[in-house]
Structure 1
Amino acid sequence: MKYLHKIKGIALRAASLSDALSIWQWRNLDDAYKFYGNAEYVPYEKHIGWFRKALNDEDRYLLIAELEGDPIAHIRFDLEDTSATVSICMAGNAKGKKLSRPSLEVSCDYIMSKGYTEILASIHEMNLASIRLFRSLDFELETSSPPFLNYCLRKHREA
């Protein structure tokens, strides 16, 4: 397995078509989708079509965070100029184990290493766990577009 980046025991790899079913299951677990821009249940047939297209999109990274070879999160970055908009979805068996922070951290570090200078996140105002997560990594609240709060992490210039 070729890993793209690794921090604190969390390894990052590119997603592949074989991840489609797991990501679909994670997205729909416990109605997690209620916090998404598309806050509806997505049937697998629709998801797999989106996933195939997303895998081939040059303006998107689909990543999988792993711990000891087990997938624990899906992280997506939509790219535009020097910005990357992030979303994260945890695997059911990873929830409550304090793995979201290192998964997001390794992903953001990887994207910043690719030359992106800001990472944006649009978080549902009722998704308190995600708000705490992003704030813990120094994302700052920029604007509000109810029901979403828009956060940003900027790469600091090195002296």
Structure 2
Amino acid sequence: MAGQLHGLRLSRGRVALAVVVVLLVGLNVVLLGLRHRAGGGEHARAQVLAAARAAVPAMLSYEYDDFDSYRATALAQTTGPFRRSFERTLDADVEPAATKDRLSVEVVVTSAGVVRASRDRATVLVFLTRALTKEGEEGSTPAEGSLVLDLRSVAGHWRVSALAVGADSPAE
């Protein structure tokens, strides 16, 4: 009987060791998965940041004499209800003023950072400079500002779903 108990203890010891090994292997798998996800998160942040840096000039830089081309490019950066709202603003306000006053606007992103991001949504703070030029006038009127963009991933592409001027967060 003593031999059997000794064998049972040995078996329990082996089982305990096996359980510990399995737990350690499982922990390593989980940690590797988290590390992979974190790396994927950084990749997603870089993608959304690049998309925002490209979208802002595409949406806000234009020349009055090529407004149709600008309009198509600008709208391609947007999605959802914001797209319709932005389109109405272009048609009702921006195009008439640009055409009447013969305006050209150049926007350059000077800095940007991701405020928050998930797999399919992100908020980005963008700092920019803007140069407004009237045809026939010397020089341009410079300005600096910031925007807060909400972006959504649509068919693998980040599109602007809301925009607010300054530090206000857009309401989606």
TM-score (norm 1): 0.29
The structure with more radius of gyration: 2
Task: Give the structure with the larger helix fraction.
Answer: 2
TM-score (norm 2): 0.28
